[in-house]
Amino acid sequence: MHAIRIEEHGGPEVMRWTELPDPVAGPGEALVRLGAAGVNFMDAGARTQGGPGWAAPAVLGVEGMGYVEALGEGVRDLAVGDRVAWFYHPGSYAELLAVPASSLVKVADGISDETAAALMMQGLTASHLSTETYPAGPGDTAVVHAAAGGVGRLLTQMIKARGGRVIALVSREEKAPVAKEAGAEHVLVHAGGGFEERVRELTGGQGADVVYDGGGAETFRSSQAALRPHGVHAYYGPFMGVPTLRPTDLPNSILLTYPVVHHHVATREALLRRTGEVFDLALEGRLTPRITGRYALADAARAHTDLESRRTTGKLLLLP
């Protein structure tokens, strides 16, 4: 089989289309043939910076969907031929994968292959942010960074499904219609910080109830300044940079949290329940991933280049 492998950390040029031995499903695993892999900023961070579990050499990618080809010993709740998806399995940029069965969910009837691949990491991240991190609902105003991107667009739709109001941030004017179509009441075009006064104007001087901030270090201070007292700054952009911080640097009484999606699906039961909730929203038409880039798996470097250009919107997929 072939996979996208790096021998060292760096730019997209370090990604290599590499022939590797076919994996074998061990005990508790399923052998899965890739149907589609999702592209995430996490992948770019793993490529450039490494981090826990990402020492080079490594095969990139964490999410996708595919078809079960063989089962390892002890796997009881899957069958050969099942359509399955996963939200986190390092090495997902590969034609074949041996995945722990406990990490796989069956794709619901009515959910297409591409939709399943597009919803796992970003859909579960948006679910975590809009429920357990801060359950935005009627009467709440949420600021959503990168609202035309994969997570941001799904997050906007989830907040709207819960009855909340969204002020969307996008980096370029041409991205504004994407955020508006997702349901945002207001769209602000800002690259970096400097948006807090406009947010306060749109909230009658009060500030937002929550800012979902995947924008990185450049937006960190403005996100906090845009909040009401006791508002929540949900910072989920560590691969975009982590600022230094003393508690006294925070505006008075705001709450800062660093959401980690793994805590949203920490058990098998939670993974099945939360994925089921995301799939149900998609089946109801209230959650519609916008797939804007389809690349051959061998062309993953081009997908990374496009992603990091900040000119893409929606979700990018790699197809074998």
Per-residue pLDDT reduced to its tens digit, 26-80: 999 999 999 999 999 889 999 998 888 899 999 999 999 999 999 999 999 999 9
Tell me the pLDDT band of 320, cut-offs 50, 70 and 90. very high
pLDDT of 215 over the 90 cut: no
The token pair that represents 220 in the structure block? 């960190």
The token pair that represents 81 in the structure block? 């031929």
Q: How confident is the model at residue 216, as a pLDDT? A: 77
Mean pLDDT over 71-99 rounds to 97
Mean pLDDT over 303-318 rounds to 89
Contact 273, 296 (CB under 8 A): no
pLDDT, tens digit, 9 for 90 and up, residues 255-285:
999 999 999 999 999 999 999 999 999 999 9
Q: How confident is the model at residue 248, as a pLDDT? A: 84
pLDDT of 240 over the 70 cut: no
Mean pLDDT over 163-191 rounds to 94
Contact 115, 60 (CB under 8 A): no
Q: How confident is the model at residue 61, as a pLDDT? A: 97
Contact 214, 146 (CB under 8 A): yes
How many whole angstroms separate alpha carbon 19 and alpha carbon 5? 9
Strand order in the sheet with 58-59: 15-19, 2-6, 58-59
pLDDT of 107 over the 90 cut: yes
Phi, psi of 90 (to 5 degrees): -55, 135
Per DSSP, the three-state class of 18 is: strand
Question: Whole-number mean pLDDT of the chain?
Answer: 94
pLDDT of 314 over the 90 cut: no
Show the domains of the chain with their CATH numbers. Answer: 2-107+290-319 (3.90.180.10), 126-261 (3.40.50.720)
Q: Which residues of 152-190 are buried (b: 16+ CB within 10 A; e: fewer)?
A: bbbbbbbbbebebbbbbbbbeeebbebbbebbbebbbeb
pLDDT of 247 over the 90 cut: no
Q: How confident is the model at residue 190, as a pLDDT? A: 86
Contact 83, 65 (CB under 8 A): yes
3-state secondary structure 217-243: HHHHHHHHHCEEEEEEEEECCHHHCCC
How many whole angstroms separate alpha carbon 9 and alpha carbon 56? 7
pTM for this predicted structure: 0.92
Contact 226, 200 (CB under 8 A): yes
pLDDT, tens digit, 9 for 90 and up, residues 49-61:
888 889 999 999 9
DSSP 54-82: -PSSEE----EEEEEEEE-TT--S--TT-
Q: How confident is the model at residue 74, as a pLDDT? A: 97
The token pair that represents 136 in the structure block? 């935005």
Mean pLDDT over 204-214 rounds to 96
Contacts of 60 (CB under 8 A, 6+ apart): 4, 5, 6, 15, 43, 46, 47, 91, 92, 93, 300
Contact 293, 316 (CB under 8 A): yes
Residue with token string 């496009």 = 306
Q: How confident is the model at residue 136, as a pLDDT? A: 94
Please state, for a pLDDT cut of 90, what percent of the chain lies above it. 85
How many whole angstroms separate alpha carbon 63 and alpha carbon 40? 9
Whether residue 57 is preceded by a cis peptide bond, meaning omega within 30 degrees of 0, is: yes
Mean pLDDT over 152-172 rounds to 96
Per DSSP, the three-state class of 149 is: strand
Q: How confident is the model at residue 238, as a pLDDT? A: 63
Per DSSP, the three-state class of 268 is: helix
